[in-house]
């Protein structure tokens, strides 16, 4: 019997399983499909807490801590697995195309600066020095030199290898169909391959976490928010920097692709790419980099972000049930938040202390 069973082999489940195993626990990780086959491989891999969170508070703090953890986390995974994860923390720009957008951005810049973050207010000319392919229409923006991106698909591959080398029991193609409880204590799960028992069970099943909570009549809502996203070839478009605009982002990757995205639309558990979705992605980004009009289209895909009602993740014990925790609801930022989630959840599971995860406890949704 494992000390800990983790349900869901996305970035969150894999990161947590690896961290717990590093700390000496016997861990089993169960995934219904392929490792990272859902939201985690659909992501753009952006590591951008200052761009993502609109106001100061626990999300910015969590995101910044995770960003700080990334270089060592990535280096360790690269050493352990002898594979590159293409971490790039070389900065990004958030761009305003008119005075109104500029005013909105400026307000954001001011609180970030006051909080001591490494951000710079830049005018249109300076923006084009950072990124020469930016449109002449760019009037001002925020340059944030410490944010960036990673190749999330390579990161997932590395984590699977690292878990395997660390001795995690990895079960893919194994569907969890029920949660096993004795009295008020969860003792494991029922699966398509039979029962699995463990000292503690962590649900890290992404957009499906709410469904799993319903198995125990616990009403913690997690809903899928589709993201449609595309890649074009970087040939002839030598972008240097990640660009965020009002309704889209442009990420030059190290593998010859430029990833552009993404929609936020709700269609239940459907993750198809629609023509409306594609149109909105391309219309959202082309004004920022005119050279993109000539880009060769490569592919488009969709994924389901796990969203909570207040935009914060769910980390920690499930009230009313001993031996059961949640690690999910990371919405647009699960790749960014994976190292800090693994660390804080592992700290909690080792010590029983929930102070570090207090703003994210699932109990906030239960009266």
Ligand X SMILES: Cc1cc2nc3c(=O)[nH]c(=O)nc-3n(C[C@H](O)[C@H](O)[C@H](O)COP(=O)(O)OP(=O)(O)OC[C@H]3O[C@@H](n4cnc5c(N)ncnc54)[C@H](O)[C@@H]3O)c2cc1C
163, 189, 194, 164: which is closest to 178 by C-alpha? 189
Cα(326)–Cα(6) distance, rounded to whole angstroms? 10
Can residue 204 be called a binding residue for ligand X (CB under 6 A)? yes
Copy the structure tokens of residue 339. 């190292």
Q: Do residues 295 and 231 make contact, with C-beta atoms less than 8 angstroms apart?
A: no
Q: By CB under 6 A, name the one of 4, 5, 6, 11 that touches ligand X.
A: 11
Can residue 241 be called a binding residue for ligand X (CB under 6 A)? no
Q: By CB under 6 A, name the one of 81, 112, 201, 205 that touches ligand X.
A: 205
Cα separation values, 346 from 50, 172, 358, Å: 25, 22, 14
- Element (DSSP H or E) covering residue 224: strand 223-233
Query: What is the nearest approach in angstroms of ligand X to the Cβ of residue 173?
Result: 9
Whichever of 112 and 205 has its CB closer to ligand X, that residue is 205
Can residue 206 be called a binding residue for ligand X (CB under 6 A)? yes
**What three-state secondary structure class fits 214?**
helix
Query: What is the nearest approach in angstroms of ligand X to the Cβ of residue 99?
Result: 29
Whichever of 8 and 317 has its CB closer to ligand X, that residue is 8
Can residue 170 be called a binding residue for ligand X (CB under 6 A)? no
Q: By CB under 6 A, name the one of 306, 316, 317, 323 that touches ligand X.
A: 306
Whichever of 140 and 281 has its CB closer to ligand X, that residue is 281
DSSP per position, 188-225? EEEETTEEEEEEEEEE--GGGHHHHHHTTT-----EEE
Residues 249-288, mask of contacts with ligand X (x by CB under 6 A)? ------------xx--------------------------
Copy the structure tokens of residue 221. 């809502």
Can residue 224 be called a binding residue for ligand X (CB under 6 A)? no
Work out whether strand 242-245 and strand 92-96 pair parallel, antiparallel, or are unpaired: parallel
Cα(122)–Cα(176) distance, rounded to whole angstroms? 51
Can residue 38 be called a binding residue for ligand X (CB under 6 A)? yes
**What three-state secondary structure class fits 83?**
coil
Cα(21)–Cα(23) distance, rounded to whole angstroms? 5
Whichever of 306 and 316 has its CB closer to ligand X, that residue is 306
Residues 44-63 that bind ligand X (CB under 6 A): 44-46
Q: Do residues 105 and 96 make contact, with C-beta atoms less than 8 angstroms apart?
A: yes
Can residue 101 be called a binding residue for ligand X (CB under 6 A)? no
Whichever of 176 and 198 has its CB closer to ligand X, that residue is 176
Cα(135)–Cα(354) distance, rounded to whole angstroms? 48
Can residue 39 be called a binding residue for ligand X (CB under 6 A)? yes
Copy the structure tokens of residue 138. 């760019």
Can residue 248 be called a binding residue for ligand X (CB under 6 A)? no
Helix 338-351 vs helix 58-81: angle between axes, to the nearest 10 degrees?
90
Query: What is the nearest approach in angstroms of ligand X to the Cβ of residue 53?
Result: 12
Can residue 229 be called a binding residue for ligand X (CB under 6 A)? yes
- List residues binding ligand X (CB under 6 A): 7-13, 30-33, 37-40, 42-46, 175-176, 204-208, 227, 229, 261-262, 303, 305-306, 328, 330-336
């Amino acid at each position: 019997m494992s000390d800990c069973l983790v349900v869901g082999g996305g970035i969150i489940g894999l990161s947590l399983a690896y961290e717990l195993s590093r700390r000496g626990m016997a861990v089993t990780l169960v995934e219904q499909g392929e490792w990272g086959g859902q939201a985690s491989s659909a992501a753009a891999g952006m590591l951008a807490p200052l761009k993502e969170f609109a106001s100061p508070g626990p999300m910015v703090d969590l995101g910044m801590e995770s960003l700080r953890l990334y270089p060592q986390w990535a280096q360790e995974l690269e050493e352990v697995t002898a594979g590159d994860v293409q971490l790039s923390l070389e900065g990004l720009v958030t761009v305003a195309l008119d005075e109104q957008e500029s005013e909105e951005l400026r307000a954001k810049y001011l609180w970030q600066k006051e909080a001591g973050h490494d951000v710079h207010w830049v005018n249109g000319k300076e923006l084009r020095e950072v990124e020469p392919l930016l449109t002449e229409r760019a009037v001002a923006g925020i340059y944030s030199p410490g944010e960036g991106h990673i190749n999330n698909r390579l990161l997932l591959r590395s984590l699977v290898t690292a878990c395997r080398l660390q001795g995690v029991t990895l079960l893919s193609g194994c569907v969890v169909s029920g949660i096993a409880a004795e009295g008020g204590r969860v003792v494991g799960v029922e699966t398509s391959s039979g029962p699995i028992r463990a000292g503690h069970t962590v649900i890290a099943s992404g957009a499906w976490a709410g469904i799993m909570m319903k198995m125990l009549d616990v009403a913690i809502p997690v809903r899928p928010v589709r993201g449609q996203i595309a890649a074009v070839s970087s040939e002839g478009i030598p972008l240097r920097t990640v660009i965020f605009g009002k309704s889209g982002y442009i990420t030059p990757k190290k593998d010859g692709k430029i990833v552009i995205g993404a929609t936020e639309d709700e269609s239940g558990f459907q993750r198809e790419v629609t023509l409306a979705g594609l149109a909105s992605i391309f219309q959202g980004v082309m004004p920022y980099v005119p050279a993109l009009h000539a880009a060769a289209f490569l592919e488009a895909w969709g994924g389901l972000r796990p969203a909570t009602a207040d935009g914060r993740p769910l980390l920690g014990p499930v009230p009313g049930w001993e031996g059961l925790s949640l690690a999910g609801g990371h919405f647009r930022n699960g790749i960014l938040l994976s190292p800090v989630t693994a660390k804080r959840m592992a700290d909690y599971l080792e010590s029983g202390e929930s102070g570090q995860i207090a703003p994210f406890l699932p109990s906030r949704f239960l009266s």
